[in-house]
Amino acid sequence: MKSATEIVLNYHQRTKHSLERYAKGPETIDWDDQPELFRRFSGCERLALPKPGRELEVLWSELDTPQHVLVHALTLESVGLLLELAFGLSAWKSDGYHRWSLRCNPSSGNLHPTEAYLININTPVLASGVYHYLSYEHSLERRALFSAPVTGADEWYIGLSSIHWREAWKYGERAYRYCQHDVGHALGALRYAAATLGWSISLMADIADAELAALLGVDRDAEFIQHEHETPDVLCRIHTSVPAAPVSQTQLEQLAATAQWFGRADSLRAYHLYTWQVLDEVSNAAAKPRTASLLNPSTALALTPPRGAIPPARATTLIRQRRSAQQFDGNMAALPSVAFYRLLSAVLAETAAFALWPWRANVHLFIFVHRVEGLTPGLYALIRDHAAVKPLQAATSDIFVWQQQRDKVPFYQLYAGDMKQPAKTISCHQSIASDSAFSVAMVAEFRTTLEQAPWQYRQLFWECGLIGQVLYLEAEAAGMSGTGIGCYFDDSVHELLGLTDDSYQSLYHFTVGTAKTDGRLHTLPAYAHLS
Ligand SMILES: Cc1cc2nc3c(=O)[nH]c(=O)nc-3n(C[C@H](O)[C@H](O)[C@H](O)COP(=O)(O)O)c2cc1C
């Protein structure tokens, strides 16, 4: 019998892409058989949320200091805006023949395996219960009503879950990794959406997956089609204008046990040509048990990104206009130094965006600088936890010089030289990694984290996704664009950095630059179909 840690380590190893072969995926993709992009439940009441598209006055740069942002009242309209800015549609794209939707949260392959559930306890805005968010219609599907009242609590939670198969349809065995990235991006999207309303979120780090599954109703197997089930990911408490004491774990369990449930998930309409057993294996091995409560070890707001570096723009506008660049302008002017340092400091663990993160920073950035004002092209590192500097110096190539670039920013030059070709090659030959201002390999403290607890495998990817979401939005605020890169050759990255074992592993790539627009595509409004 293999231990859970061994199963997770094996999964990671077998889903590496390499120069010689890609991780196992479907041999053919039938585009007509694409999974339905929107999960719907039949047989439950559907409640339309107030009209989407509302703009708020708050500026992007004001979200750095959330304590100064106007706190909006808890109404159905503000709850709708929270869901829209986090998980709603942001636009449709069309090439004249096909059209496809984009959402505020990005997703690998635009497949959107992440589902969001709203849990209301006692607040008068909605009946207490569990609601599935349907982004296409900007509506809530009432999955459950709580019958037992909870005394002394008025609470909102949002729970996330993933339909692994939806991602595996295209990406096969590597899909589980992408689902976890997407959860991290969704967490970031939710954090920024809450911040525009003057609200915040905290992550319930103690809850077990089985408890979360019961609360979200995703363990009700008879109500889901085989292979289209959802796996619980995270539960977030939403801190709104209504002060409240948190509901205890036992109360949450009681609510789930006594709830009245409605509806069943519609089919996602595919014939499941391939099944990927390894996804269920790793998912079971990386399931989280109940753990002790944690407090965020970093002091949020100790550091705020340099102000004045970005043009003033409404936060709600920026969130809706975020797009992945599909091509970058390789002749772009160098990214101004002030904007670059704002981007770097925005991903440090002490900033407002990471106040929700209850674990220590385990992910560090190795940065391929191509076109940044004042910096010699080359390889750099941003180490997000001071304690990690020495071990990383010892683990990486001994030709790296580790020359600190700025006081108080843990940013080091490692190697001077043109890194465009290596960056492109290791990112599955994608030129988005070389035509940009810079691209990033996110390197996680891997083996020790997994040996402590195998479920922390997912948490490492969530941390990467959260960093990615900050980069996406900060790039947009700087007038640039970003793109997540899930396709990279794992061990070629390690070789380039001089990493010789799995103490550290590269878990995600990202790139930022000036996007080239594709004149063949048209952008259409997000919710014209509702009017
Ligand atoms: C985890 C993750 C991995 C991604 N990997 C790639 C990639 O390797 N190459 C690429 O061109 N785009 C990649 N993307 C971008 C997605 O294709 C993009 O998010 C999706 O099409 C939705 O478009 P949008 O971000 O403009 O909303 C990735 C996005 C995410 C979130």
Q: Which CATH superfamily is domain 324-513 in?
A: NADH Oxidase (3.40.109.10)
Share of the chain above pLDDT 90, in %: 82
Which residues, 6+ apart, have CB-to-CB distance to 94 below 8 Å? 100, 521, 522, 524
CB atoms within 10 A of CB 267: 13
- How much is the pLDDT for 298? 47
Amino acid identity at 375: L
Q: Can you tell me the distance from the alpha carbon of 372 to that of 59, in angstroms, rounded to the nearest whole number? A: 26
- How much is the pLDDT for 247? 79
Q: Which position has the token pair 């990911």?
A: 233
pLDDT at 423 over 60: yes
Average pLDDT score over residue span 297-319 = 73
pLDDT at 303 over 60: no
Q: Can you tell me the distance from the alpha carbon of 184 to that of 132, in angstroms, rounded to the nearest whole number? A: 19
Distance 106 CA to ligand 1 centre (A): 6
Ligand 1 atom, smallest distance to 432 CA: 11
Average pLDDT score over residue span 33-44 = 94
Average pLDDT score over residue span 291-308 = 59
Best residue among 85, 107, 516 to mutate for probing ligand 1's pocket (most ligand atoms within 8 Å of CB) is 107
Distance 21 CA to ligand 1 centre (A): 21
- How much is the pLDDT for 299? 43
Give the pLDDT band (50/70/90) at residue 396: very high
Map 98-134 to HEC letters.
Answer: CEEEEECCCCHHHCCCEEEEEEEECCCCCCCEEEEEE
Most confident of 142-156, 403-417, 432-446: 432-446
Q: What are phi and psi of 416, to 5 degrees?
A: -100, 135
Q: Can you tell me the distance from the alpha carbon of 304 to that of 134, in angstroms, rounded to the nearest whole number? A: 35
- How much is the pLDDT for 297? 52
- How much is the pLDDT for 487? 98
Judged by DSSP in three states, 484 sits in strand
pLDDT in tens, 132-141: 999 999 999 9
Distance 55 CA to ligand 1 centre (A): 26
Ligand 1 atom, smallest distance to 109 CA: 17
Ligand 1 atom, smallest distance to 105 CA: 27
Query: Can you list the alpha helix ranges (DSSP code H) found in 226-294?
Result: 249-258, 277-285
- How much is the pLDDT for 340? 95
Distance 218 CA to ligand 1 centre (A): 27
pLDDT at 302 over 80: no
Average pLDDT score over residue span 334-339 = 95
Sheet strand arrangement including 504-513: 403-406, 409-416, 378-382, 363-369, 438-445, 504-513, 481-485
Ligand 1 atom, smallest distance to 488 CA: 8
Q: What are phi and psi of 37, to 5 degrees?
A: -80, -20
- How much is the pLDDT for 300? 45
Q: Can you tell me the distance from the alpha carbon of 202 to that of 208, in angstroms, rounded to the nearest whole number? A: 16
Nearest residue (by CA) to ligand 1, atom 11, is: 326
Q: What are phi and psi of 463, to 5 degrees?
A: -60, -45
Least confident span in 185-199, 260-274, 494-508: 260-274
pLDDT at 19 over 60: yes
Q: What are phi and psi of 5, to 5 degrees?
A: -65, -40
Give the pLDDT band (50/70/90) at residue 253: confident
pLDDT at 311 over 90: no
Distance 430 CA to ligand 1 centre (A): 12
- How much is the pLDDT for 274? 83
Distance 410 CA to ligand 1 centre (A): 28
Q: What are phi and psi of 481, to 5 degrees?
A: -135, 160
Distance 107 CA to ligand 1 centre (A): 6
Q: Can you tell me the distance from the alpha carbon of 378 to that of 367, in angstroms, rounded to the nearest whole number? A: 8
Nearest residue (by CA) to ligand 1, atom 20, is: 110
Distance 436 CA to ligand 1 centre (A): 15
Judged by DSSP in three states, 46 sits in strand
Distance 402 CA to ligand 1 centre (A): 31
Q: Which position has the token pair 């077998």?
A: 14
- How much is the pLDDT for 275? 84
Closest C-alpha among 305, 274, 3 to residue 165: 274
Distance 111 CA to ligand 1 centre (A): 10
- How much is the pLDDT for 293? 66
Q: Can you tell me the distance from the alpha carbon of 423 to that of 252, in angstroms, rounded to the nearest whole number? A: 47
pLDDT at 260 over 70: yes
Ligand 1 atom, smallest distance to 323 CA: 26
Most confident of 19-33, 183-197, 337-351: 183-197
Give the chain's largest Cα–Cα span. Answer: 65
Give the pLDDT band (50/70/90) at residue 67: confident
Share of the chain above pLDDT 70, in %: 96
pTM: 0.97
Domain chopping of the chain, boundaries? 4-16+23-285, 324-513
- Six-digit token pair at 165? 């198969």
Distance 340 CA to ligand 1 centre (A): 22
pLDDT at 301 over 80: no
Average pLDDT score over residue span 105-120 = 97
Ligand 1 atom, smallest distance to 428 CA: 8
Q: For ligand 1, which residues put their CB under 6 angstroms from it?
A: 102, 106-110, 178, 181-182, 185, 323-324, 326, 430, 432, 483-487
Which residue(s) pair with 368 in the sheet?
Answer: 379, 439
- How much is the pLDDT for 242? 76
Provide the CATH number for the domain formed by 4-16+23-285 in this structure.
3.40.109.10
Best residue among 17, 427, 470, 483 to mutate for probing ligand 1's pocket (most ligand atoms within 8 Å of CB) is 483
Which residue(s) pair with 141 in the sheet?
Answer: 46, 132
pLDDT in tens, 431-485: 999 999 999 999 999 999 999 999 999 999 999 999 999 999 999 999 999 999 9
Q: Can you tell me the distance from the alpha carbon of 490 to that of 374, in angstroms, rounded to the nearest whole number? A: 30
The burial of 333, by beta-carbon neighbours within 10 Å (0-12 exposed, 13-18 middle, 19 or more buried), is given as: exposed
Q: Can you tell me the distance from the alpha carbon of 277 to that of 166, in angstroms, rounded to the nearest whole number? A: 14
Nearest residue (by CA) to ligand 1, atom 22, is: 110
pLDDT at 308 over 80: no
Average pLDDT score over residue span 317-342 = 96
Q: Are 287 and 209 in contact (CB under 8 A)?
A: yes
Average pLDDT score over residue span 84-94 = 98
Closest C-alpha among 340, 348, 368 to residue 475: 340
Q: Are 4-16+23-285 and 324-513 in the same CATH fold?
A: yes
